[in-house]
Structure 1
Amino acid sequence: MTTSATLSIRRFDASDIDAVVALWQQAFPEYRDATRPQRNPHLSIANKLATQPELFFVAVLGERIVGTVMGGYDGHRGWMYSLAVDESLRRHGIGTRLVAHVEQVLTGLGCPKLNLQILSAKDELRAFYEALGYRTDAVISLGKRLGELADSVPAA
């Protein structure tokens, strides 16, 4: 990471769409798979902008978006989604800062517990979150696609 640029975290703005989509397609290969319409980054952004858009954050280095995180809070527990960091800048603390940011905002809303899900095959991600104090809960995550996607794709 260059020392001349300062990292900042701010709320997502509509002008960030193209940069965020490009970052997500780099960070999440499944977002490039047209056979998985539930992984459409444009749909994910539109849905987040319709529901708690104030919990959608980007990390900016200089003028470049280099990370994202989304939070959600339903009054019972919080969720963290779409943590992504530009692959050329990983292991420089950007992901850690994004997690801390969303934790701080959700704590300020009174959120007592934050949940997240990762694919079971992503051991490196699990190690990252465990280093930040996250632990595996003894739960089974179930999913069901609704609406247009109900019968078109598996739940994964």
Structure 2
Amino acid sequence: MSTSAAVSVSIRRFEARDTDAVIALWQEAFPEYRDATKPQRNPRLSIANKLATQPELFFVAVLDERVVGSVMGGYDGHRGWLYSLAVDESLRRHGIGSRLVAHVEAALTALGCSKLNLQVLSAKSEVRAFYEALGYRADAVVSLGKRLGELADSSAG
């Protein structure tokens, strides 16, 4: 496929009818979403939670009426977050991921967000390289996490 694929991709807000396509995309892009021993990686729960909190910051890329990418953003009034960027494996390296990132950056900027954070698993150097090519840099911080509620006893990850 040529890079013209990115030109014909449209980006719009996630709709409920996109659920199965987004889950399939995430399970391809994030193998941990297929791991039943990690209840914190339940894609249906992730989608439901996003639809309950800032659903206007959940976007999909569509090519010929098929969902080929997704990204979620979040903003708490202090800083923004970028989550779950995924592009169909057969269409990677055609600018779709970059367009999704630019789209969520623009939406967050319009809300007054001046700092955007994201996390990349340390083992995924190719993903880190993608974000670095878009201008993201490692902050001199340590990311800490704690599971709450039903997942409090789950292992990290």
Identity within the alignment, %: 81
Distance (whole Å) between structure 1 residues aligned to residue 131 and residue 120 of structure 2? 10
Partner of 1:19: 21
Partner of 1:84: 86
Residue ranges of structure 2 left out of the alignment (5+ in a row):
none
Name which of 69, 77, 98 aligns with 1:67. Answer: 69
Distance (whole Å) between structure 1 residues aligned to residue 114 and residue 65 of structure 2? 34
Distance (whole Å) between structure 1 residues aligned to residue 46 and residue 8 of structure 2? 28
Partner of 1:97: 99
Partner of 2:155: 154
Letter in 1 for 2:155: P
Quote the offset at 1:85 in angstroms.
0.3
Letter in 2 for 1:128: F
Distance (whole Å) between structure 2 residues aligned to residue 131 and residue 22 of structure 1? 27
Letter in 2 for 1:154: S
Runs of 4 or more off by more than 6 Å in structure 1? none
How big is the alpha-carbon RMSD for the aligned residues of Structure 1 and Structure 2? 1.2
SS of the aligned residue for 1:10 comes to strand
Quote the offset at 1:10 in angstroms.
0.1
Distance (whole Å) between structure 2 residues aligned to residue 146 and residue 155 of structure 1? 11
Residue ranges of structure 1 left out of the alignment (5+ in a row):
none
SS of the aligned residue for 1:84 comes to strand
Partner of 1:126: 128
SS of the aligned residue for 1:111 comes to coil
Match runs of 1:102-113 below 5 Å: 102-113=104-115
Quote the offset at 1:155 in angstroms.
1.6
Distance (whole Å) between structure 1 residues aligned to residue 127 and residue 29 of structure 2? 12
Quote the offset at 1:6 in angstroms.
2.0
Distance (whole Å) between structure 2 residues aligned to residue 125 and residue 6 of structure 1? 24
Name which of 54, 57, 67 aligns with 1:55. Answer: 57
Q: Deviation per CA, 1:122-149: give whole Å up to 9, x if none.
A: 0000000000000000000000001111
Name which of 138, 141, 147 aligns with 2:140. Answer: 138
SS of the aligned residue for 1:16 comes to helix
Aligned length: 155
